[in-house]
Amino acid sequence: MSVLEAPRAKVPPKPRNPRTVVVGWIIAAVVVAVHVIAWRATDISFAALAEGWAGMADFLAEAIPPDLSPDLLLESAEASLVTLWIGLLGTTLSVPLSLILALLAARTISPAGWVYQVTRAILSFLRAVPDVVFALIFVTAVGLGPFPGVLALVAHNVGVMGKLWAETLEEADPGPATALRSAGAGRIQVAAHALLPSVLPQLVGLLLYRFDVNVRSSLVLGLVGAGGIGFLINQSIQLFQFDQMLTHILVVLVLIIAVDRLSAVVRRRLTPEAA
C-alpha cells in the first residue's frame, strides 16, 4: 500500500470545556435579548413600511425626472464646491490641535499620567458631541453660512482624529524611540525624529479617511444652516421641489465619488506595497 493510499488517522475532537459552553450560551442569550429590546424600542414594523409604498411612489414620481436646467446645475455645482471646501478646511484646520492632543494622549509619550487622562477626557468630549450640535451652537454665534460648518467640523474632528492618531502612535515600533531616549533625547525630539516619521503613512491615511467623512458630514451640516449643497437640498424639500432635490443629490453623488477616487489614489501612493 502506497503512502497516498494509507488510511488517514482520525483527529480526535477537541475537548470542550463545559464552562465555556455555558458562557457562550449566556452571551448569545444576552445578545438576542438586547436585540429584542432594541427592536421594540425603535418601533420597527415592516408592515408599516409595506403600507407606505404609495407615499414613497408618489415622492419618487415627483422627483423623477430631475430638473437638469443649466441654471440649477450651475447653482448646484457651486454649492457642492462650498460643501467640499467646508470638508477640506474642517479637516486641515484641525490637524495642529489634533497632533498636539494625540501626542499628549499617547501613553508611550505622554509626559504624565494626569496629562494622559485629561487629554483623553477632552478628546472623548469632542467626539461625544455630534458635529450637527456644534454647527447649531456656532450658527447662533456667527450666523448662517459655511463658516459655522467649518468650525463644527474642526471641533468634532479634533476629537476623532486626535484619538485615532494617539492610538497609532502607541502602536508604533518602540525601537527607534528607545534608541533616542538612551542617547539622551527629550520627548519632543523622540516624537519628531522617531515616532512621527515611523507612522507618517498611517497618520496621512487616517487624515484622508476623515476628509472623506467630513465631506459627507458637511452635506448634513447644510441642513441646519451651515451652507453648502445641503442647504439647497433642505430648501428644495421645504418648497416641495423634489425634482430639484434629486438634481442636487445627483451632484452630491458625483462629488463623493470624485473625493473617494482621489483619496484612494493618494493612499495607494503612500502604501504601494498594499496596492
pLDDT of residue 125: 92
**C-alpha cell read off for 219:** 452635506
From the list 108, 123, 103, 91, the residue with the least C-alpha distance to 196 is 103
Confidence category of residue 31, pLDDT binned at 50, 70, 90:
very high
> Which segment, 22-26, 96-100, 165-169, 206-210, is predicted with the most confidence on average?
96-100
Q: How many CB atoms lie within 10 A of CB 228?
A: 28
| Chain centre to alpha carbon of residue 111 | 29
Asked if residues 87 and 227 have their Cβ atoms less than 8 Å apart, the reply is no
Helices (H), the chain: 18-41, 46-51, 53-63, 70-92, 95-105, 113-128, 131-142, 146-170, 174-182, 187-190, 196-221, 229-238, 242-270
Number of residues assigned to the chain:
275
Contact 189, 180 (CB under 8 A): yes
Assigned C-alpha cell, 91: 479637516
pLDDT per residue as tens digits for the range 222-259: 777 777 788 888 888 888 888 888 888 888 888 888 88
Q: Do the beta carbons of residue 181 and residue 112 sit within 8 Å? A: no
Spatial CB neighbours of 262, under 8 Å, sequence gap ≥ 6: none
Residue 32 amino acid letter: V
Give the contacts of 8 (CB within 8 A, at least 6 positions apart): none
The distance of Cα 63 from the centroid of its chain, to the nearest Å, equals: 30
Sign for the pseudo-dihedral over CA of 27, 28, 30, 31: positive
Would the pLDDT of 274 be above 50? no
For CA atoms 31, 32, 38, 39, the dihedral sign is: positive
Average the pLDDT over 91-101 and give the result: 90
Distance of CA 120 to the CA centre of its chain: 19
If you write DSSP's letter for every residue of 146-209 in order, what string do you get?
A: HHHHHHHHHHHHHHHHHHHHHHHHHTS-HHHHHHHHHTT--HHHHIIIIIHHHHHHHHHHHHHH
Tell me the domains of the chain and their CATH numbers.
70-274 (1.10.3720.10)
Residue 11 has pLDDT above 80, yes or no: no
Using pLDDT thresholds of 50, 70 and 90, give the confidence band for residue 54.
confident
Angle between helix axes 70-92 and 146-170 (nearest 10 degrees) is 40
Give the pLDDT confidence of 132-158 residue by residue, as tens digits. 888 888 888 888 888 888 999 999 999
Q: For residue 175, is pLDDT > 70?
A: no
Distance of CA 264 to the CA centre of its chain: 15
Looking at residue 275, its pLDDT comes to 38
